[in-house]
Amino acid sequence: MSRVQLTLLATVVGGLAWTPAASQTPPWRPVVRAVTLHEDENQTRRTGTTATSLASSAAPKVFTLSALEALAREYHPSLASAAARLTAKQSGRVQAGLYPNPEIAYRGMEMGNLGTPGMQGAMVRQRFITGHKRQLDTRLADQDVSEWTARYQAQQQTVRGNVQRRFYATLVAQRNLELTRELAQLSSQLATATRQLVEAHQETENSLLQAEIQAEESQILWHNAQQQRTAQWRQLAADVGLPQLPLTELSGDLTGELPDYSWPQAESLVLAQHPWLMAAQARHQRATLAVQRAIKEVVPNIDVSVMVQHMYPSNNDTTSLVIGFPIPIWNQNQGRIAQTRAELVAAENDIRHIELELRSRLADSYGHYANARQSVHRYAQRILPRARQSLDLVRNGFERGQIDYQTLNQSQQTFVRTNLAYLDSVRRLRDAASLIESQLMSSKPDHRD
């Protein structure tokens, strides 16, 4: 009877083979939304309310990647901050194009002369901007907007990349929990069956000790998997922007449509239209315009004043016109011109610096990606099929009485641990691929930030 029990328990291992459910996720669509001061003050309250509502009975029973990305777009504070900074630069661009306001003044002179009010009048003054300086200021502000648009895009990719990487890590932790739970249950049942064999004098005491050790080790793996899944979920919730989000099951396909990038493809994906490079190019354009603006500063603006007065002693009206401008003799803006030219050289080298930094990071990330890719391929094509075949052979031999329970137990343990190792390779592959797809934005920001 006990051998029949072991045979039945051995068939449970067949259920440990992992077949993930397919999931389709739509492409990321960023939401550009600046947050006002009033909204910012209530952000914490809104976030807590959202987390509470998601904890209610109306909360989804499972989360997909697309659903979590949508929550991150709505609630992650870094996106609201980046959008607000972009709005500030756009507002600064409007301000840069405005013309100086005219001045108006009252003027009274010689009041009391011959018992009269003296000279009473009004003056209007206007400064005329010359040398196309106002147009250059507007173009400078345009480049500020371009830079911060790129920075906003970079933050979007950072948030999306972090959510995507953490989603797959949590999904792997969720599957690890399922496997280790089944392994712990199986090991416990095998230990119980072994105890019955010992009581029936069909196995030795040492066999029972070995079975109990395996059961305890399986319990440790299960407990560790529980803690790991909880930790991964908490990190995922923080990356979404809702740290109080209740622990929820994830739905996704770890192995479906695994990315397959060659080095040229990864290089093109990362370097083409990279936000850091776009921001650096905008800074370079701004530095070029800043040199022109510094040179044009030498061209003096013209101040024109018109004054109309009534002279009460003689009962005459007079009109005065004053036109003035500074003469650039001592100050020809030499220091500012030299400063902007030096900043232009720095901006030119920043572009190259950032490109080299991206290539260095890509080389490291692609190395991890390539290693994980070949590991996943070998596990899927060679190791897992052999582990399954070995388990089937051992199970058939055990049913015919040709193999003892220890060999069966070891084969079962090997099969489960091989699946766990495969899942870890998939996690590393997804992590590296997500980093490449987000153009390495999940790592440290560029040196200008």
- Is residue 195, in this structure, part of any structural domain at all? yes
pLDDT at 8: 38
Q: Which of 254, 278, 247 is nearest to 153 (CA)?
A: 278
Instruction: From 140, 39, 128, select the one nearest 92 (Cα to Cα).
Output: 140
Q: How confident is the model at residue 13 (pLDDT cuts 50, 70, 90)?
A: very low
For the chain, the domain total comes to 1
Per-residue confidence (pLDDT) for residue 18, from 0 to 100? 43
Q: Residue 249: in which H helix or E strand, if any?
A: strand 249-250
Q: Is the pLDDT of residue 439 over 80?
A: yes
pLDDT digits (tens, 9 = 90+) for 377-413: 999 999 999 999 998 998 888 777 788 777 877 788 8
Please write the tens of the pLDDT for every residue from 308-340.
999 888 889 999 999 999 999 999 999 999 999
Is residue 99 a contact partner of residue 134, using CB atoms and an 8 Å limit? yes
Domain extent for 242: 2-99+144-284+346-437
d(CA 111, CA 4): 123
Name the H helices within 200-309.
205-240, 263-271, 275-296
Q: Residue 298 — φ and ψ, nearest 5°? A: -65, -30
Q: Which two tokens mark 265?
A: 């493809």
Q: Is residue 330 part of a domain?
A: no
Residue 401 has phi, psi (to 5 degrees) of 80, 15
User: For 242-271, what is each residue's pLDDT tens digit?
Assistant: 999 999 999 998 887 788 899 999 999 999
Q: What pLDDT, on a 0 to 100 scale, did the predictor assign at position 45?
A: 52
Report the C-alpha gap between 272 and 204 in whole angstroms: 67
User: How large a percentage of the chain has pLDDT more than 70?
Assistant: 85
Tell me the C-alpha distance between 235 and 241, whole Å.
10
The confidence score (pLDDT) of residue 59 equals: 62
- Position 318 in a domain: no
Q: Where are the alpha helices (DSSP H) in 98-132?
A: none
Report if residue 14 sits inside a domain. Answer: yes
Q: Which residues pair with 317 in a beta bridge?
A: 310
Please provide the average confidence, as pLDDT, over all residues in the chain: 85
Q: Is residue 188 part of a domain?
A: yes
Q: Would you say residue 199 lies in a domain?
A: yes
**Is the residue at 183 inside a domain?**
yes
DSSP 379: I
Confidence of residue 54 (pLDDT cuts 50, 70, 90): low
The 10s digit of each residue's pLDDT in 215-234 is: 899 899 999 999 999 999 99
Instruction: Report the first-to-last Cα separation within the chain, whole angstroms.
Output: 70
61 falls within a domain: yes
- Position 11 pLDDT exceeds 60: no
Please tell me the predicted confidence (pLDDT) of residue 115. 80
Please, which pLDDT band fits residue 32 given cuts at 50, 70 and 90? Answer: very low
Which CATH number fits the domain that encloses residue 252? 1.20.1600.10
Is the pLDDT at 17 greater than 80? The verdict is no
Cα–Cα distance for residue pair 226/205, rounded to 1 Å: 32
